Amino acid sequence: MFKIHKFTNQIDLTRGNTMKTEIDIDTTDGAYVPAAEDVIKFFVSKKKDDANALIEKTIPHNTMTLELIPEDTKNLDRGTYCYKVDVALASGEVYTVIEGKLILEGMRK
């Protein structure tokens, strides 16, 4: 089970569950269309701006689909984590485009 809260970007996820969701990024010029050279990454850490990511996933630029598999979360403690999505452009510029809380709930049976 997972739920993404529309206005806060909070993700509620049952540990050990699969999560697949399309990532939409809006810019002042409209929807972001990634170039093949862009690298989009999803990071989860215990605290905001923690350099030690507990989960790091590359989001394919051709699908913009984030997929967490059971192994990504099943060994993490229940609780509140921070996540972010960064876009690294071919030019070297890096932008944090989404931030939020990830709430891990009880283990699936």
Encode 4-50 in three state secondary structure.
Answer: ECCCCCCEEEECCCCEEEECCCEECCEECCCCCCCEEEEEEECCCCC
pTM above 0.85, yes or no: yes
pLDDT in tens, 14-36: 999 999 999 998 888 888 889 99
- Closest C-alpha among 95, 98, 82, 80 to residue 49: 82
CATH number for the domain whose boundaries are 2-105: 2.60.40.10
Q: Where are the domains of the chain?
A: 2-105
Average pLDDT over residues 77-83: 96
- Per-residue pLDDT of 57-68, as tens digits, reads 999 999 999 999
**Amino acid at position 99, single letter:** E
